Structure 1
Amino acid sequence: MVSAWLPALAALTATVAALLVLWPLRRSDRRAPFIAMVLAVGVAGACLYLLVGQPQAPSAAVAAAPTDLGQGVQALEQALQRDPQRADGWALLGRARTELGQHQPAADAFARAVALAPDDPGVLVEAAQARAQADAGKQFDDTALQWLRHARQLAPDAERASWLLGIALRQRGQDAEAAGIWEALLPRLDPGAASALREQIAIARGKAGLPAATAAAAAVAGTALGVQVRLDPAFAARASLPADASVFVIARVPGGPPMPVAVEKHPLGALPLQLSLDDADSPMPTQPLSAHAEVEVFARLSVSGNASRQDGDLDSAPVRVRLPHAGTVQLVLGAPDRP
């Protein structure tokens, strides 16, 4: 029996090498050949180990090493015939079949992976998606829905599981439940993705006959905090700021832990910036902005792109406000300290 982790290590090593060698294809936007070639090398690495990684393997197997994705799939299938209890092998086969556009064989391979690893949330999500892709109407059936629910139970913060579960529920006309799942996902998304998801939530709520703003949503809207961020003109004139610097707008509990209760990230070039902080910007669903009566708001100019303060970062003077706050909080980066 081949050790379970050695083939995976071989595939990982081959894939990393492929990423380094083939990266120019990705940078020139030739994504399809880039993905296919990287996956082919990864499959080949795993298969080559499974074929010749044992001391008794004949040297002829080296000559038969796969040279493209199709041959890699065949080699992997042969290896799985000898060692069929490999969930990672079946999942790898499912990904390869998906890349080749062979949706039903991919779904079958992922089903074998789920049978061997029923509590792996990543495999469950991939299997559910493959099952829907294999369906003529691209529908998530009962089995796929069950896999997605189980994956979300195992990993409540898994964004892909929540997103696909919402789609599956909407396909069944369960729009209210879909909207609820997507609303719980919002705080974990960046502003752009959150904005797109809000549109889908609005559609789902409308289909479910729910009002545009429930009592809870009205409470959130009442605590939404308008913020304006700009650079001090004198500071901007003399400072040499990297074009790829980021600006974080942060609300946190005064005198409390440094973890923000709401945060947004924007490029430096977006300044001057007008925005609204709300519960969708809360990194912790259990501590949304609307749960606090008072917050401290400030902006951070980050050269590293990290929200945590680093050497060379610049913070604006913090402004303490009580919620709800009707006005706009003015934050100025680089303003001189006032006595």
Structure 2
Amino acid sequence: MPNVEKGIGMMWGSAQRFAKSGGFVGNLGLGGMRLSIEGRPDADRAKATINAALDAGLTLVDTADAYHAGAQDRGHNETLIGDVLAARGDADRVLVATKGGKVRPGDGRWLIDGRPDHLKSAARESARRLRCESIGLYQLHAPDPGVPFAESIGALKDMVDDGLIERAGISNVSVAEIGVAHGILGPLLVSVQNEFSPTAVDGFGTFKKSQQLGLMFMAWRPFGDQQKIASTDNPFVEMARKYGVSLHRLILAWELSLGVGMVPIPGATRTETIRDSAAALNLELDSLDAERLANYALFGDTALDENLRKDEVNA
């Protein structure tokens, strides 16, 4: 079984240690979206993938009420995860991180609704689908341009105070928004979930801000543009050959090398894929190799504008 405690210590507090059984959230989670949106696998294969992730030692599963296809199966992914955990009987050792604030009317669009009343109602429905009285980690899926950000964050605080959720997080946010949320929630805020990968490094500044505040940074779409990476001669392809592992596993190992608090959440629709991802927890890169990959991704052709990068990292 992978060493899920590698790299994160007790300093991360309630983001990693969670109630009920004193479970521990490791450095990698399963992203559930692809198991429920358009093109999803059948239910048996989806459940087998979740079980494979948990059997491999992962104790974090990411989901959202908007992870569904048609308008009539809202919360499909939450229901799927709730069913698997109920059948296994070990839900207490798994932290399910769900999100609210995005809405899918069934025509392919992803809309945003950050109104406090909507978020609270959505969280109650999420808890029902996940078969729990209190959601372990509930995150605002995205800021709503039509709702003051502080009001949406205030709704998260109300839900913690009411016992509907145990911890709060935010997703798809800027460095400045992390600061605002932390100012309102204080220690109730435990996570930031933003996109980050070798081909989407603009999330690096929000990772550093999260690290500064002691927050778990959940990197969604951690593989990035896989075709772009695989089709060019670059250090990631070279290092995958050197270590004799898949490009997927190499990318995750590099992300884990960036520092405490980085928690990639790769998606998967097959058992073998999530097992390969989980194996990244046991792949230690040589420090010079990790540095070379970081220099290429963060300062090479895929880097952010230098001034923007400095502004975000130092914010």
TM-score norm. by structure 2 comes to 0.29
Structure showing greater relative contact order (alpha-carbon pairs closer than 8 Å, 6 or more residues apart): 2
- Give the number of the structure whose residues are more often helix, by fraction: 1
